[in-house]
Amino acid sequence: MPVAWTKVLDFQDIKYEHFEGIAKVTINRPEVRNAFRPETVSEMQAAFAHARDDSSMTPSVPAATSASAAMAATSILPGGRA
pTM confidence score: 0.74
Q: Is 41 within the bounds of a domain?
A: yes
Q: Is 30 within the bounds of a domain?
A: yes
* CATH number of 11's domain: 3.30.300.220
* Structure confidence by residue, pLDDT tens digits, 23-68: 888 899 989 988 889 999 999 999 999 998 998 887 766 665 666 6
Residue 40 sits at φ, ψ, to 5 deg, of -60, -45
Q: Is 74 within the bounds of a domain?
A: no
* Structure confidence by residue, pLDDT tens digits, 4-17: 999 999 999 999 99
Residue 43's domain spans which residues?
6-66
Other C-beta atoms lying within 10 Å of the C-beta of residue 31: 8
Cα(13)–Cα(62) distance, rounded to whole angstroms? Answer: 17
Q: Is 73 within the bounds of a domain?
A: no
Q: Is 80 within the bounds of a domain?
A: no
What's the number of domains the chain is made of? 1
Sheet of 65-66, strands arranged across? 6-9, 14-19, 22-27, 65-66
